[in-house]
Amino acid sequence: MGYQLDFGALSGYLGLFLHGLGVTLVLTGISALLGIVLSIGGAATARSGPIWARTLVLAYVELIRNTPFIVQMFFIFFGLPSLGLRLSAIEAASLAMTINLTAYAIEILRAGIEAVPPSQREAGAALGIRPATVFIWVVLPQALANVYPALVSQIVMTMLESAVVSQIAVTDLTHVADLIQSRTYRAFETYFVITLVYLALAVGLRRLFALAGRRLFAGRRH
């Protein structure tokens, strides 16, 4: 009595695997790019915007950080249509992932910005540079350098969380795994392979970002 391993049963599904991998990467890419850009704006607003804007941003951050991602996603995909906004599965998934990443990234960046010594801002003012320019060219690079590992971690976490979009029929890696498993009945082999793929993706992403970080922030980090 024993389970006969049969990885060969999965061989016919290579195309499907690659499709799922592609979807996961695309979703991660979109949400990472948009998320970082939006979180820079959000962090700046939260620190030095008008009171009403600050409250709005902080309320949004608290809402997203204190609710499960899957619930946020179900709300966008199943709930919004009854308010008139019907997004396709991929659109809903990208939106949910972006909203989620942005909220966490705003908090991370705020900490990074706070860690830049105020003397930097004062020096900029003393030199007659406009505050916005000081923020973008002096404060922000240092802030990013401060929290770069945390940001990378958050992006990788979002990539792993993207597995949840399989529940709204987005054909990502996890959805493909479930499909293959339900056709071949080879649960162990399928999920073993998928785990390895996610592992490789996560480790690969971190390596990539580490290399990029060394070049972007050369000389800035102590």
Partner 1 sequence: MKFSSSRRSALKFSLASGLALTLGMAATGIDPAAADVLDDVTKAGVIKVGIFEDFPPFASLGADMKIQGYDVDMADMLAKALGVKAELVGITGQNRIPFLTEGKVDLLLSIGFSDERAKVVDFTAPYAPYYIAVMGPQDIDVKGPADLKGKTIAVNRGTLEDTELTKAAPEGADIQRYSDYAGVISAFESGQAQLMVVGNDVGATILAQNPSIKPEEKFLLLTSPSDMAVKKGETSLRDKLNGILAGMKQDGTLNTLAVKWLKQPLPKDF
Among 145, 158, 175, 209, binds partner 1 (CB under 8 A): 175
Q: Return the range that interacts with partner 1 (CB under 8 A); candidates 40-48, 80-88, 121-129, 142-150.
A: 80-88
- How far apart, in Å, are the Cα atoms of 32 and each of 12, 177, 200, 212? 32, 24, 18, 15
The b-or-e profile of 114-131 (16+ CB within 10 A means b, else e) is: eebeeeebeebeeeeeee
Among 13, 17, 69, 77, binds partner 1 (CB under 8 A): 77
Place of tokens 């996560």: 202
Q: Return the range that interacts with partner 1 (CB under 8 A); candidates 4-12, 44-52, 129-137, 172-180.
A: 172-180
Residues in 106-145 that interact with partner 1 by CB under 8 A:
none
| 75 near partner 1, rule: CB under 8 A | no
Smaller CB distance to partner 1: residue 96 or 113?
Answer: 96
| 184 near partner 1, rule: CB under 8 A | no
- Based on DSSP, count helices (H) and strands (E) in the chain, helices before strands: 9, 0
What is the spatial distance between Cα 106 and Cα 86, in angstroms, rounded to a whole number? 27
Among 22, 29, 68, 81, binds partner 1 (CB under 8 A): 81
218: phi then psi, degrees, rounded to nearest 5: -60, 125
- How far apart, in Å, are the Cα atoms of 217 and each of 24, 93, 122, 220? 28, 32, 22, 5
What is the spatial distance between Cα 35 and Cα 28, in angstroms, rounded to a whole number? 10
| 78 near partner 1, rule: CB under 8 A | yes
Among 65, 130, 183, 221, binds partner 1 (CB under 8 A): 183
Query: Is 41 exposed, middle or buried, given 0-12, 13-18 or 19+ CB atoms closer than 10 A?
Result: middle
Under rule CB under 8 A, how many of the chain's residues touch partner 1?
17
Q: Return the range that interacts with partner 1 (CB under 8 A); candidates 40-48, 74-82, 140-148, 188-196.
A: 74-82
Among 33, 169, 196, 199, binds partner 1 (CB under 8 A): 169
Among 9, 70, 89, 160, binds partner 1 (CB under 8 A): 89
| 210 near partner 1, rule: CB under 8 A | no
- The residues of the shown chain that bind partner 1, judged by CB under 8 A, are 77-79, 81-82, 86, 89, 166-169, 175, 178-179, 181-183
